[in-house]
Amino acid sequence: MSIGYNDPVYAISVVARTIGLHPQTLRHYERRGLIRPSRSSGNMRLYSQHDIDRLMKFKEWIDDLGVNLAGVEIMAKLSDRVTELESQLETLTSNLVRASEDQRSLPAGDEVIRGPENRR
């Protein structure tokens, strides 16, 4: 069985040591809603590789760019929104390509006309 990118497997102590942050800092980020680790049945915080990558990005913004925590919150929200929009764009593009291929496979004169402007 392989561990996936979003599987929660790392304890807070491991994550804190890996990233170079204090465990209390990670708890603070969680309280601020910047990170949402999973919980084990014993209520232990468990982080995924995705969580670690996100935390490393926050640390980079703070250490390298001098961004404060309020700035990290804004940048994280924007980054999440960009990721969401990219996913939507990919889906729409895929649907458009598929519709275009479907249109091309119809015999001449059998084009399907879709859209509100063509409905009467």
Q: How do residues 36-50 score in pLDDT, each as one tens digit? A: 999 999 999 999 999
User: What pLDDT score was predicted for residue 52?
Assistant: 97
Q: Give the integer Cα–Cα distance in Å for 35 and 54.
A: 8
Under 8 Å between Cβ of 68 and 74 = no
User: What pLDDT score was predicted for residue 101?
Assistant: 86
* Domain at 10-106, CATH class: mainly alpha
Residue 10 pairs in a beta bridge with 47
* Domain boundaries, given as residue ranges, for the chain: 10-106
As a whole number, the mean pLDDT across the chain is 90
pTM of the entire predicted model: 0.74
pLDDT tens digits, one per residue of 64-82: 999 999 999 999 999 999 9
Count CB atoms within 10 A of the CB of residue 77. Answer: 12
Structure tokens at 79: 């980054």
Q: Which helix (H) or strand (E) holds 10?
A: strand 10-11
Q: Give the integer Cα–Cα distance in Å for 58 and 56.
A: 5
Mean pLDDT of 19-25: 97
